[in-house]
Amino acid sequence: MKLCTYQGARGPRVGVVVEDRLVDAGFDGPMTALIAGWGELRPRVEQALEVGDARPLSQVTLLAPVLRPGKIFAIGLNYADHIAESQAQTPEHQVWFTKAVTAVNGPFAPVTIARTGPRVDYEVELVAVIGTGGRNVPEDRAAEHIFGYCVGNDVTERFWQHRTPQWSLGKSFDTHAPFGPWITTADAVADVHILDLSCTVNGDVRQSSNTRHLVFNVFQQIAHLSQAMTLEPGDLIFTGTPGGVGAAMTPRQFLKPGDVVRCEVEGLGHIENPFVAEA
């Protein structure tokens, strides 16, 4: 099932995407509440699919699937080719940073290049959405805690990222976490570790890889994070980006106003964001 958040007449609503159509999910709360109560609420959503009116997806404004996640964590240096282009060593331990929840952005919404941060770069990523919360999750049980998957762009301001040892500020500018276009529930993804992913800038392919190249796979990431904190429904995990980022090109290629970045993950859809100057 593909679950989205869309702009309804009276505010954000949860919907179900079926091919090129959207049906309201018949649920009045936010996506996080639907995720938390999914075991009980899924039959209601399935019933809404049977009786609800479908509208063309092209006539709907899709918002970020989870408008206000409790936590956004992202792993760095998690594809071998990105490690090589970053002139770094393969990490012995997982390297994590946070993205502020105010960075959340819609799958097709503009991304701002801030006046104070013009060195903006793209990073296509598979995003895992936590379903069942928990602490100290064993790796072999981690799949049970994933609600679904999205496409994400870990937009990064490189100067702010690298001028200190801590990356979080450079990763947390407003609008710099677009993701979506919907959540594909985990039961609809046969194997999350064999998915192609790609990123284009103005139609030119910049990144192209497959999740089988993850250094630490998705389940290892959940097991590791949950040793430190309780994971909760709706938390987002950006699982790493492959090689091909603009900062590693010669000369370096940072994004500029007017650029359009498209990120895609096999079977999960795509997001496409125009980049604009801060007003």
143 & 20 share domain = no
Residue 52 has pLDDT above 90, yes or no: no
CA separation, residue 276 to residues 110, 117, 175 (Å): 6, 12, 11
Write out pLDDT tens, residues 63-80: 999 999 999 999 999 999
Write out pLDDT tens, residues 79-105: 999 999 998 999 999 999 999 999 999
Mean pLDDT across 189-214: 98
59 & 111 share domain = no
**pLDDT at position 185:** 98
State the Cα–Cα distance between residues 193 and 156, nearest whole angstrom: 24
87 & 203 share domain = yes
CB atoms within 10 A of CB 90: 10
Residue 57 has pLDDT above 90, yes or no: yes
38 & 166 share domain = no
Write out pLDDT tens, residues 35-50: 999 999 999 999 999 9
Mean pLDDT across 268-276: 98
**pLDDT at position 51:** 86
Spacing of C-alpha 1 from chain mean position: 17
115 & 53 share domain = no
CATH of the domain at 112: 3.90.850.10
Mean pLDDT across 214-226: 98
12 & 129 share domain = no
232 & 128 share domain = yes
Residue-number span of the structural domain to which 207 is assigned: 72-277
Asked which of 22, 46, 63 is the last residue of a domain, the reply is 63
167 & 220 share domain = yes
266 & 179 share domain = yes
Asked which of 30, 63, 96 is the last residue of a domain, the reply is 63
Q: Which residues contact 176 (CB under 8 A, 6 or more apart)?
A: 99, 103, 105, 111, 112, 120, 154, 155, 156, 157
State the Cα–Cα distance between residues 103 and 173, nearest whole angstrom: 6
Structural domain count of the chain: 2
CA separation, residue 95 to residues 55, 89, 90, 195, 220 (Å): 43, 12, 10, 22, 12
Residue 222: name the closest of 99, 101, 123, 138 by CA.
Answer: 138
State the Cα–Cα distance between residues 220 and 91, nearest whole angstrom: 14
Write out pLDDT tens, residues 126-155: 999 999 999 999 999 999 999 999 999 999
Token pair for 192: 């999350």
Mean pLDDT across 93-119: 98
Alpha helices, H only, the chain: 31-36, 38-51, 80-85, 158-162, 168-171, 218-225
Place of tokens 């985990």: 186
Residue 53 has pLDDT above 90, yes or no: no
45 & 114 share domain = no
Write out pLDDT tens, residues 166-194: 999 999 999 999 999 999 999 999 999 99
Mean pLDDT across 234-256: 97
**pLDDT at position 83:** 92
pTM confidence score: 0.97
133 & 159 share domain = yes
Q: What percent of the chain has pLDDT over 90?
A: 97
246 & 128 share domain = yes
